[in-house]
């Protein structure tokens, strides 16, 4: 496991491999070194990096994999649309006691945890609406949905409430940018495309933290078991989605989103390769602003699973 003081010093690193040249990353003297055509472009101390996102084709060394895992650095390799196609990183797979407790959670315990995670998500959505001084009636409706979550008696009921709350939230919060609807992975417009990028980066960071503690990230308590889905990472990122939502609206309001940076191919929005760094950094900045809260949440989850009688389920508040 990594301590909070150490984690506070960590950063996310983004590498964009240039087309038509020989791109390579390797470990050298405790540094992650990025080179093009054997010329060193940049380097970063492995002690300061938590995760590396690599966009484009690149060559890696066996030493990079060995030392990356040794120093707790996770690597994510991304397609041009920012979808991750491969990754490797440190994990505490041998923590059998944690996993036994994780697998032994009863249906009642999982339902209670699901209520907490969705309630937390709705609370943060309410906080964003209140922050923007939006419709009081809408804010009241969202609070009523939070109360309904607490009374839910099944996962299906919670999912229905969450879906309704999110639809209402998106329509109200993003109304100023001509919001249509949330369409995951469809990339039907720029806001949805940016959400996919931001949520994916958040998901990968959360998954890396969970694995450092030894969790089986395929076993969730709200998102149920599904082939090849890291359900626990999906669960734990829910309250933190508001971080990405807030950053997207902020970027639009500050004029940081330029339609000329995007193009449409096959009915889906994508980004010009040369502009990718700009948008990756937007989300890395937002995530790193809340890295202490991310750490504390996962640590709180660990303590709760190990002893729920002593430790309450964690909570993240976007306004804090």
138 and 81 both lie in a single domain: no
The reply to whether 114 and 181 lie within a common domain is yes
Tell me if 162 is assigned to a ligand binding site: yes
311 in a structural domain: no
Contact 239, 313 (CB under 8 A): no
Query: What are the phi and psi torsion angles at 50 (to 5°)?
Result: -100, -40
CA distances from 67 to 2, 64, 87, 93, 267 (A): 16, 5, 15, 17, 41
Cβ pair 119, 157 in contact under 8 A: no
Residue 72, burial from CB neighbour count under 10 angstroms (0-12, 13-18, 19+): buried
- Shared domain for 157 and 23, answered yes or no, is no
The answer to the question of whether 292 is labelled as a binding residue is no
Whether 319 is in a domain gets the answer no
d(CA 234, CA 107) in angstroms, rounded, equals 18
Which of 49, 65, 88 is the endpoint of a domain? 88
Last residue of a domain, one of 34, 69, 88: 88
Question: Are 30 and 135 found together in one domain?
Answer: no
SS3 of 231-266: the string is HHHHHHHHHHHHHHHHHHHHHHHCCCCCHHHEEEEC
Helix/strand/coil percentages in the chain, nearest 5: 55, 15, 30
CA dist 200 and 203 (Å) reads 5
The pTM (predicted TM-score) of the whole model is 0.88
Domain contains 278: yes
In a domain, 70, yes or no: yes
- Please indicate if the annotation marks 238 as binding a ligand: yes
22 and 121 both lie in a single domain? no
Please measure the distance between the N-terminal and C-terminal CA atoms of the chain and give it in whole angstroms. Answer: 25
Residue linked to tokens 């999982």? 110
Instruction: Note whether 29 and 158 are same-domain residues.
Output: no
CB 111 within 8 A of CB 155: yes
280 and 177 in one domain?
yes
Domain boundary among 63, 88, 113: 88
* CA pair distance 101, 104, nearest whole angstrom: 5
Residues 6+ away with beta carbon under 8 Å from 247: 198, 282, 283, 285, 286
Pairing label, strands 262-265, 74-78: unpaired
Residue found under tokens 């909570």: 315
Domain region containing 223: 96-306
* Residue 16 counted as domain residue: yes
Residue 317 lies in a domain: no
Residue 320 maps to a domain? no
Helix axis angle, 241-253 to 190-213, nearest 10° = 140
Is there a domain that residue 313 lies in?
A: no
Residues 71 and 134 in one domain: no
Overall number of domains in the chain? 2
For residue 214, give the DSSP letter: T
Residues 123 and 57 in one domain: no
Tell me, yes or no, whether 122 and 59 share the same domain: no
Longest Cα–Cα distance in the chain: 61
Tens of pLDDT along the chain (320 residues)?
Answer: 677 888 888 898 999 888 889 999 999 999 999 999 999 999 999 999 999 999 889 999 999 999 998 888 999 998 877 778 888 887 877 788 999 999 999 999 999 999 999 999 999 998 998 888 766 677 678 778 888 898 999 999 999 999 999 999 999 999 899 898 998 877 889 999 999 999 999 999 999 999 989 999 999 999 988 888 999 999 999 999 999 999 999 999 999 999 999 999 888 898 887 888 899 999 999 999 999 999 999 999 999 999 999 999 999 999 75
Indicate if 131 and 243 belong to the same structural domain.
yes
22-46 in b/e burial notation, b at 16+ Cβ within 10 A? Answer: ebbbbbeeebbbbbbeeeeeeebeb
At 176, which CATH number? 1.20.120.920
Verify that 265 and 147 share a domain, yes or no.
yes
Specify the CATH number for the domain of residue 53: 3.100.10.20
Tokens representing residue 95 in the block: 């923590």
């Amino acid at each position: 496991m990594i301590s909070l003081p150490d984690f506070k010093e960590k950063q996310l690193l983004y590498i964009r491999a240039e087309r038509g040249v020989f791109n390579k990353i390797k470990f050298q003297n405790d540094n992650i070194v990025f080179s093009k055509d054997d010329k060193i472009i940049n380097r970063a101390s492995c002690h300061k990096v938590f995760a590396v996102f690599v966009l484009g084709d690149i060559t890696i060394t066996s030493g990079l994999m060995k030392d990356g895992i040794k120093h707790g650095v996770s690597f994510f390799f991304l397609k041009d649309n920012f979808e991750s196609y491969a990754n490797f990183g440190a994990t505490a797979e041998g923590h059998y006691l944690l996993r036994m407790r994780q697998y032994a959670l009863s249906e009642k315990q999982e339902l209670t945890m699901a209520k907490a995670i969705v309630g937390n998500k709705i609370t943060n959505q309410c906080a964003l609406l209140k922050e923007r001084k939006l419709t009081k009636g809408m804010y009241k409706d969202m609070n009523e949905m939070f109360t309904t979550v607490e009374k839910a008696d099944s996962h299906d009921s919670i999912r229905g409430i969450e879906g309704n709350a999110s639809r209402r939230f998106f329509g109200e919060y993003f109304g100023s940018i001509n919001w249509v609807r949330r369409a995951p992975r469809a990339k039907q417009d720029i806001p949805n495309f940016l959400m996919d990028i931001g949520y994916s980066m958040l998901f990968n960071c959360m998954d890396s933290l969970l694995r450092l503690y030894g969790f089986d990230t395929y076993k969730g308590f709200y998102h149920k078991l599904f082939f090849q889905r890291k359900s626990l990472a999906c669960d734990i990122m829910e309250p933190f989605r508001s971080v990405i939502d807030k950053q997207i609206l902020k970027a639009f309001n500050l004029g940081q989103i330029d339609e000329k940076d995007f193009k449409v191919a096959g009915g889906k929005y994508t980004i010009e390769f040369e502009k990718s760094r700009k948008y990756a950094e937007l989300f890395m900045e937002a995530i790193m602003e809340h890295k202490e809260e991310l750490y504390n949440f996962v640590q709180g989850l660990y303590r709760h699973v190990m002893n729920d009688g002593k430790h309450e389920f964690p909570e993240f508040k976007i306004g804090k």
